């Protein structure tokens, strides 16, 4: 089977997140501006990131705190692109749920989705 290096489709969003660099003691804060199943853009203008730096992202979806590991792929003065490192199917599902949550809110299906998250969570 042939794999593609094309970027995964992105979903625009504005989600406040906390993150911690692996060597840091304190949490920092930023905003996810777009997301795909494989990664995201983290808007964080006051941080200096290096390629291959590992971070732990924390965000809240439907009232539940979620965490996922990521690696910085590239960085500039606006923030960085990160690649997710899911360690389980649950991690993959967290990102998928977040994308679905954002898209469902745009389509006006928030109540249905909130009920699904409450039952699944």
Domain membership of residue 88 as a residue range: 11-120
Q: What are phi and psi of 74, to 5 degrees?
A: -150, 160
Which is higher by pLDDT, 38 or 9?
Answer: 38
The predicted pLDDT at position 96 comes to 86
Q: Quick check: is 61 in a domain? A: yes
Q: How confident is the model at residue 52 (pLDDT cuts 50, 70, 90)?
A: very high
Q: Quick check: is 22 in a domain? A: yes
DSSP labels, the chain: -----SPPPPEEEEEEEEEEETT-SS-EEEEEEEE-SSEEEEE-TT----TT-EEEEEEEETTEEEEEEEEEEEEETTEEEEEE--SSHHHHHHHHHHHHHHHHHHTT-HHHHHHHHHHH-
Whole-number Å distance between alpha carbons of 67 and 91: 8
Q: Quick check: is 1 in a domain? A: no
Q: How confident is the model at residue 53 (pLDDT cuts 50, 70, 90)?
A: very high
- Please write the tens of the pLDDT for every residue from 62-112: 788 889 999 999 999 999 999 999 888 888 888 888 888 788 776 655 555
Q: Quick check: is 4 in a domain? A: no
Q: Quick check: is 5 in a domain? A: no
| CATH code of residue 24 | 2.40.10.220
Q: Quick check: is 2 in a domain? A: no
Question: How many domains does the chain contain in total?
Answer: 1
- Please write the tens of the pLDDT for every residue from 112-121: 556 666 655 5
């Amino acid at each position: 089977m042939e794999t593609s290096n094309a970027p995964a489709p992105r979903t625009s969003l504005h989600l406040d997140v906390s993150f911690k660099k692996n060597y840091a003691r304190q949490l920092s804060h930023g905003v996810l501006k777009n997301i795909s199943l494989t990664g995201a853009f983290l808007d964080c203008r006051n941080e200096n990131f290096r390629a291959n730096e590992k971070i732990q992202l924390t965000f809240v979806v439907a009232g539940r705190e979620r965490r996922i590991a990521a690696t910085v792929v590239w960085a500039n003065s606006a923030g960085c692109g990160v690649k997710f490192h899911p360690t389980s199917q649950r991690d993959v599902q967290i990102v998928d749920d977040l994308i679905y949550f954002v898209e469902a809110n745009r389509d006006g299906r928030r109540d249905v989705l909130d009920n699904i998250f409450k039952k699944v969570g």
